[in-house]
Amino acid sequence: MSPVTILVVDDNDLFRLELVSFLRKRGFTVSEARSGDDGLYLARKRTPDIVLTDLVMPNLDGIDEIKRLRIELPKTKIFAMSGGGRRKNVDLLSLAEKMGADAVFEKPLNMMAVVNAIEGTGRKPPVGATGAGSIDSKTA
């Protein structure tokens, strides 16, 4: 079985790079985008197993990205992450779930929870992949 393919979408460059590095060390095949627009473009082009997206981004935010991905790539798993926020008095992570996110994570991320969710998709990283911890968007 081939490694899980993941697209990480986050406008915070340092946070995104740390997350991508962590996931690659775990043996996953990872690509990245710095905006919802870029993420949607890459998801259409590469059809990853999982899109792991931030919710608060300029232009196309994560909620609108999730809506489009659900329609265009219904088999792709969508994991949403956010450090907080609301849209029309609704918590963004709750809204992401309502829009079809398969899993939601608060920042700072509990990386083992993310890895467990990825592995729960039925696809495993290669044997010998390592790494654990957390990544905080406030310090990244």
End-to-end CA gap in the chain: 33
Contact 125, 136 (CB under 8 A): no
pLDDT in tens, 25-60: 999 999 999 999 999 999 999 999 999 999 999 889
Average pLDDT over residues 126-132: 41
The CATH homologous superfamily for domain 5-134 is: Response regulator (3.40.50.2300)
Tell me what pLDDT residue 126 has.
Answer: 40
Split at pLDDT 50, 70, 90, the class of 3 is confident
What are the CA-CA distances from residue 131 to residues 28, 49, 78, 114 (Å)? 12, 21, 22, 12
CB 88 within 8 A of CB 112: no
Among 18, 7, 26, which residue's Cα sits nearest to residue 128?
A: 26
Tell me the pLDDT tens digit for each residue of 49-102: 999 999 999 889 999 999 999 999 999 999 999 987 766 667 899 999 999 999
Domain boundaries, the chain: 5-134
Residues 6+ apart with CB under 8 A from 44: 72, 73
Residue 8 vs residue 91, higher pLDDT = 8
